[in-house]
Amino acid sequence: MKKTSTRLADGRELLYYDSRDDAVREAVDRRPLDPVATASEVRRDPLLGDAVAIASHRQGRTYHPPADECPLCPSREGRLSEIPESDYDVAVFENRFPSLAGDSGRCEVVCFTSDHDASFADLTEEQAGLVLEAWTDRTAEMAELPQIRQVFCFENRGAEIGVTLGHPHGQIYGYPFVTPRTALMLRSAEHFKESSGGRNLFDDVIASELADGSRVVLDGEHWVAFVPYAAHWPYEVHLYPKKRVPDLRFLDDEACTEFPQMYLELLRRFDRIFGEGEPPTPYIAAWHQAPFGELEGHHIDRGEFALHLELFTIRRTSGKLKFLAGSESGMNVFVNDVPPETAAERLREVASE
């Protein structure tokens, strides 16, 4: 992999990740852009303890542009985009409309391919491996920023999810706090360790799923994918490396090599679960990585956390979405219409030939 760093016209950082070591990236952003002005602020809910990002400048962000005006496509003659080059492998840049900025964190956009009409599932294993290298590199660099407590790599796919740009891309958030969901995992893991005589909760979950087998979707040499026992979403899969590591930086070569095979197969199965002729399945793919520093006055033992990816869709059946209604939105108590064992069986049925 070759990494090239440059700057956009308004001063934001742009990074190219190329599979070829001889790639040359010298194109200059010729757009007349003013410096980015953000108003990101993090506020704490005194009742729930949750952090909320207030970012009013995002109201003006680009919204469903036509394909010939896509800001994530390479620049062409007469049409300048966020990426000055005429082609690219993977490109990462600071978000022009960030939810978090400055002392409140950092937000980046990750363009998986220059092909506007592709999706992550269309990538080759080599291309998917390059995206993994980009995620890992950005995790390493964000981890060094003093204001960052947690690095979150994710992809939203589909208009139903709320995606405003159709080009295949994801984002990376550097949070200045430990997210509520991760804090819950850490508390659960700590309580389990104390009550079980020192065992690791994540290891136990993986061992239990492998022993049961009814919810396992893919079982590789270095990764395992399963529908969790108490899945929140109609079709939800968790992908874990079998060797526990706290974040992407600690994956060994064997795990990095196998990941594209496993992940691409999962994404392709997601596009087949609702049958032929259905539109692409909307999904969220979220990497969970160990945070840094302290939580509630206690040092976080990053070695007890397990890196994993959670992949889920809000579509529950053909033509129907899973909405977060009263119980989910009002009380955060999920009601799942699809038994996890049924979801896993369906995902096994739609395996690639």
pLDDT in tens, 213-236: 999 999 999 999 999 999 999 999
Residue 79's φ and ψ, nearest 5 degrees, are: -145, 105
**125 and 37 housed in the same domain:** yes
Q: Which domain holds residue 219?
A: 180-349
> What Å distances lie between residue 34 and 10, 27, 40, 175, 180, CA to CA?
6, 19, 18, 26, 35
Q: So what's the pLDDT on residue 343?
A: 97
**115 and 224 housed in the same domain:** no
Residue 157's φ and ψ, nearest 5 degrees, are: -130, 125
**40 and 168 housed in the same domain:** yes
pLDDT > 60? residue 60: no
Q: So what's the pLDDT on residue 184?
A: 96
The percentage of residues in the chain with a pLDDT greater than 70, rounded to a whole number, is: 98
pLDDT > 70? residue 267: yes
The count of domains in the chain is 2
Residues serving a catalytic function are: 169
- CATH number of the domain encompassing residue 272: 3.30.428.10
More confident residue, 69 or 287: 287
Q: Which ranges constitute the DSSP H helices of 125-200?
A: 125-143, 180-195
With beta carbons less than 8 A apart as the criterion, state whether 274 and 317 touch. Answer: yes
Q: So what's the pLDDT on residue 336?
A: 94
Mean pLDDT of the chain: 94
**20 and 157 housed in the same domain:** yes
Q: So what's the pLDDT on residue 313?
A: 96
**21 and 156 housed in the same domain:** yes
**84 and 198 housed in the same domain:** no
pLDDT tens string 197-212: 999 999 999 999 999 9
Q: So what's the pLDDT on residue 247?
A: 98
**327 and 186 housed in the same domain:** yes
**246 and 268 housed in the same domain:** yes
**33 and 72 housed in the same domain:** yes
**228 and 146 housed in the same domain:** no
User: Domain boundary residue among 119, 145, 175?
Assistant: 175
With beta carbons less than 8 A apart as the criterion, state whether 227 and 239 touch. Answer: no
pLDDT > 70? residue 246: yes
Q: So what's the pLDDT on residue 277?
A: 81
The percentage of residues in the chain with a pLDDT greater than 90, rounded to a whole number, is: 84
Exposure string of 311-350, with b = 16+ CB inside 10 Å and e = fewer, is bbbbbbeeeeebeeeeeeeeeeeeebebebeebbebbeee
Residue with the two structure tokens 């979150």? 152
Q: So what's the pLDDT on residue 252?
A: 98
- Give the residue-averaged pLDDT of 319-335: 92
If we measure between CA atoms, which residue out of 175, 155, 150 comes closest to residue 166?
Answer: 155
Q: State the pLDDT confidence band at 37, using cuts at 50, 70 and 90.
A: confident
**285 and 242 housed in the same domain:** yes
User: Domain boundary residue among 125, 149, 175?
Assistant: 175
pLDDT > 70? residue 249: yes
pLDDT > 80? residue 192: yes
Q: What sign results for the dihedral spanned by CA atoms 172, 177, 180, 182?
A: positive
Radius of gyration of the chain (CA): 20
**135 and 151 housed in the same domain:** yes
pLDDT > 70? residue 64: no
With beta carbons less than 8 A apart as the criterion, state whether 254 and 221 touch. Answer: yes
pTM, entire model: 0.94
